[in-house]
Copies of this chain bind each other. A is one copy, B any other.
Amino acid sequence: MTKRPALTLKKVAEIIGVSNATVSNAFNRPDQLSKKKREEILKSCIELGYHGPNQAARSLRKGTSDIVALILPDSLNYMVSDPVASQFMQGVTDILEQNNINILLFSGRSPSINKIVDFVDGFICYGAPRNSELVAQLEKTTKKVVTIDFNIANRASINIDNEQAAAEITNHITQSDDNIFAVLGLRLIPSEQVCRVYDNELLDSQSSISHRRLDGYTKALTEQGITLTNELIWNVPESNIKLAAIAAREALTTEPRPNVLLCMSDMIALSTLREAQALGLRVPEDVKIVGFDGIDESQRSSPTLTTVHQNSVLKGQRAAQLFLDGSIVEEILAYTVQQGNSC
């Protein structure tokens, strides 16, 4: 029978014959004791099989844990299926891993941050979470918060200028009197269905990137003397190929047929491209398509996609760095219009 009860700092101190504070200092504050003594203690710990202070207790005492919660917009598997989110995560994990910070994955559908808030040093919140109560909770917490693609007052954030990007890519399309514009939008209204927006109430229009993008499209078209009506704006509840295909098909079979489709994500645009081709339409001759995000796959499709490219890996890196720095800045990242052959 070996030692059943787990070793604690106190026991170890007793065995070695020093006070618990000294052992603690050996691990945490090398300057508080002689080099010799420290090394002796550390060596003894290894021999005893003591692997250092219990992190849960340490966290309770110190109030820090070296864990940060990464709040995803939706359920966890979202991150896995969305290439933009994946890229972002890659950026975040790059930086945090380098800094020995661990990541707790947290779903934007969770009812509350309470179950984890005491375990983490703060939050990196990627996109407005599906459950908007989480935002209210983040506003109140005393822990660090960095938001991405939306803002919370007095918190660090990372964004791109979605409105300007949307306007720019709209202006990128050759003007013609024949143009009929339609928008395939992302989560514009609370509905979980693919449907036209019509006069439905728009979702929390303040913060959502979708509304900034819609504003951009609208603004550019207005300047061209074109009015975008809600009948030609579709709501796709999430950036998912199948749902996008439904919206695309509806749009492409509307009479008169829209011949410029402004898509709020590359996933939607790629799905639209596929639907158009399935309907025997030529892109860009019969239908022009533009996307948003600039995912890798948009450059492998045929034709390649004209889209707004944003650097999602960098976004993640900057978010993580801002978190570490603790600086409360609202950072705006650059985007580029990526010329493809789809318009």
Contact = CB atoms under 8 A, between A and B. Distances in A.
Contacts of A56: 56, 59-60, 65, 118-119
Interface stretch (A10-18, A87-95, A227-235, A246-254): A87-95
A85 to B, nearest CB: 9
Number of copies: 2
A37 to B, nearest CB: 22
Interface string A73-103: 0011100110000110110011001001011
A181 interface: no
Contacts of A105: 93, 102-105
Nearest to A91: B77
A242 interface: no
A76 B103 contact: yes
B55 A116 contact: yes
A93 B72 CA distance: 13
Interface in A179-229: none
Contact of A60 (B57, B87, B100): B57
A87 B65 CA distance: 29
A25 interface: no
A135 interface: no
A93 B77 contact: yes
Contact of A104 (B52, B59, B67): B67
5 contacts: A6-B142, A56-B119, A66-B115, A80-B93, A103-B104
